[in-house]
Amino acid sequence: MKTTKIGFIGGGNMAASLISGLIASGHAPERIWVSDVNPSTLVALAEQHKVNISNSNDVVVNAADVIVLAVKPQVLKAVALSVAALVQQQESLVVSIAAGISLSSLKLWLGTDTSIVRCMPNTPALVLTGATALCANEKVTAGQRTLAENILRSVGITLWVKDENDLDAVTAVSGSGPAYYFLLMEAMEKAAVELGLNEATARLLVQQTALGSAKIALESEETPEQLRKRVTSPGGTTQQAIETFQQGGFTELVSKALHAARDRSIEMSKQTENT
């Protein structure tokens, strides 16, 4: 892995996070190449990470063993078509982190023999605590799967799905998921201020409680239901709050919201690929 040459087409926030994670895990900056249409983005990456930069996607493809497509979905088709011949010539592994672009479309644009891994990361990858689901086409070897996994693992946890359609559910759960937690935190902060706390105190308490709860859940072998019951004393304050949530249809509302997000993911994928 550390000797693999990795190229990024697109140098935005997610690419920058992956680059940072790779270097932190021991990957040499001189084995990383980045291209982008924005010169200032390239200069910033070179100054901060000492990676190779170019305004040419062809230079990156020629230099690297693995190509990470990190451009916006609406321009991915044009980018993929422009580098397809070189990708096929180099027999590159292509890793796409563009939301909503299917493996079948990527194969159509890049060539039927191209090894392609499609990923669905989330924004906590920006602070190296992301969750990424991956799905490979039939051309990807076991070694290439490991390589793609190692790249994305540099910014958090990774897992594989066999059915590409599951990525729409992943989008609803972890892709959009950070916003759900921020919404709850936002509501808790507002309520805390209504209860008499100042904004700074409310925010700090909510943030640290969210962090601590997630840490317990990650480190415990118990389910969230079991953990919830452990801190819910019969007749106590927590039980009163939980019952209020449940009476308001909290569980059903969460289910409805995630189904809506999944359905929208499917719809947006179709719209993006038809443009």
3-state SS record for 91-110: CCEEEECCCCCCHHHHHHHH
Q: Which residues form the domain of 72?
A: 6-170
Is residue 3 predicted with pLDDT exceeding 90? no
Is residue 171 predicted with pLDDT exceeding 90? yes
Residue 129 belongs to a domain with what CATH number? 3.40.50.720
Q: Which two tokens stand for residue 72?
A: 């916006």
Q: Are residues 20 and 152 in the same domain?
A: yes
Q: Are residues 112 and 125 in the same domain?
A: yes
Q: Are residues 129 and 250 in the same domain?
A: no
For residue 99, the model assigns a pLDDT of: 87
Q: Are residues 39 and 116 in the same domain?
A: yes
For residue 64, the model assigns a pLDDT of: 96
CA 255 to each of CA 139, 189, 214, 262: distance values in angstroms, whole numbers, following the listed order: 36, 24, 20, 11
Q: At residue 140, what is the residue type? A: V
For residue 271, the model assigns a pLDDT of: 79
Q: Are residues 215 and 162 in the same domain?
A: no
% the chain with pLDDT above 90: 93
For residue 208, the model assigns a pLDDT of: 98
Q: Which of 150, 170, 190 is the last residue of a domain?
A: 170
Q: Model pTM?
A: 0.89
CA 24 to each of CA 6, 17, 151, 209: distance values in angstroms, whole numbers, following the listed order: 15, 10, 12, 28
For residue 273, the model assigns a pLDDT of: 67
Residue 249 belongs to a domain with what CATH number? 1.10.3730.10
For residue 12, the model assigns a pLDDT of: 94
Q: Are residues 43 and 150 in the same domain?
A: yes
Is residue 14 predicted with pLDDT exceeding 90? yes
Place of tokens 């490991």: 146
Q: Are residues 156 and 179 in the same domain?
A: no
For residue 2, the model assigns a pLDDT of: 63
Q: Which of 129, 152, 170 is the last residue of a domain?
A: 170
Q: Are residues 237 and 160 in the same domain?
A: no
In a domain, 1, yes or no: no
Is residue 115 predicted with pLDDT exceeding 90? yes
Q: Are residues 90 and 137 in the same domain?
A: yes
Q: Are residues 16 and 80 in the same domain?
A: yes
Q: Are residues 209 and 164 in the same domain?
A: no
Q: Are residues 100 and 55 in the same domain?
A: yes
For residue 275, the model assigns a pLDDT of: 64
Angle of helix 13-24 relative to helix 39-49, nearest 10 degrees, comes to 20
Is residue 209 predicted with pLDDT exceeding 90? yes
* pLDDT tens profile 51-82: 999 999 999 999 999 999 999 999 999 999 99
Is residue 230 predicted with pLDDT exceeding 70? yes
Q: How many domains does the chain have?
A: 2
